[in-house]
Structure 1
């Protein structure tokens, strides 16, 4: 097992460990049980909702098993990440400061608008397909308006996040 660990660390070192992990990755590595539980519960609940399994005990059990499996997988992934971060802290191979940001040319204004329009179109199509699958009589107009509301909310959250960073 020790040889496998050394091979993994050599692979990591060769292919870009020069960057510090993001804060979310560090948080998840420090709280693997909570992260696995949250992901498992959300996955199981969404799958149960998608299968309409709240009335059928068999489907509900299957959704719970899928949620449990996903939670265990995420827990194991977080434990491996925690081990990796601890190993690099022990070997002192992680850089002490984050790398300098890369300065690039900003995108033109039309590019940002085109991205938000694409988000709105994909959201509209997704909501329309979900409403068709659930059997509710939903039309394009209501799907488009809900997607527009979600897109504008996401844009507003992005603007607020940028202002907080400054």
Structure 2
């Protein structure tokens, strides 16, 4: 196991990840048995549902090993994540990753990334309006959905811009 403790940070540095674990990742690593059981059970029921075998005991028995295998793999991955987080805390890499992540959050987005994010929001909101349009008595056509999506995106981007500006700032 000591070799894993040396190998995982090397792989992490090589892949370029340096973000601190999220609250969900910490919680999952703290409870590997529960996480494995839930993941395996959910996958098991999803496979049974996909095969439409809720009434057939044979399908339940045939797909059981798949769910158990996924559960054991998830358990192992969670145990490795827990060891990695413990090693990071012990060596001080976790605090360094938190500082680097805080600096990245403070840095403004480049104009190209901001435009791409706005276009992405426009596409998603247009799709939502296209799907939900008939429920709101909006004609289900792409021009209407795109127009409402553009309006929603414009309001969202403007609101974020106004919230970001502070009193006394110029520009």
Tell me the TM-score normalised to structure 1 length. 0.62
The residue that corresponds to 1:99 in the other structure is 102
> RMSD of aligned C-alpha atoms?
3.1
Distance 1:35 1:3 in 2: 25
Q: C-alpha displacement at 1:118, in angstroms?
A: 4.6
* Cα distance in structure 2, aligned partners of 1:118 and 1:3: 49
Q: What are the Cα deviations for residues 20-58 of structure 1, in whole angstroms up to 9, with x where unaligned?
A: 111111110111111111111111111111111222222
Question: Which residue pairs with 1:23 in the alignment?
Answer: 23
Bigger Rg, structure 1 or 2: 2
Tell me if structure 2 keeps the 8 A contact 1:48–1:60.
yes
In 2, the alpha carbon distance for the partners of 1:111 and 1:16 equals 25
The structure in which a higher percent of residues are helix is: 2
Contact (CA 8 Å) 1:48, 1:63: kept in 2 or not? Answer: yes
- Confirm or deny: 8 A CA contact 1:19 1:99 kept in the other structure: no
User: Post-superposition shift, 1:14?
Assistant: 4.1
Report the CA distance between 1:7 and its aligned residue: 3.0
Provide the C-alpha distance between the structure 2 equivalents of 1:114 and 1:46, rounded to a whole number of angstroms.
30
Q: Distance in 1 between matches of 2:122 and 2:21?
A: 31
Counting matched residue pairs gives: 126
C-alpha separation in 1, matches of 2:129 and 2:73: 33
Q: Is the 2:36–2:73 Cα contact (8 Å) retained in structure 1?
A: yes
| Distance (whole Å) between structure 1 residues aligned to residue 88 and residue 128 of structure 2 | 39
Q: Any residues of structure 2 matched to 1:10-159 within 5 Å, and which? A: 10-94=10-94, 95=96, 96-97=98-99, 98-100=101-103, 101=105, 102-104=107-109, 105=111, 106-107=114-115, 111-118=120-127
Return the alpha-carbon distance in structure 1 between the equivalents of residues 123 and 91 of structure 2. 46
CA 116–73 in structure 1, closer or farther in 2 if over 3 Å, else same: farther
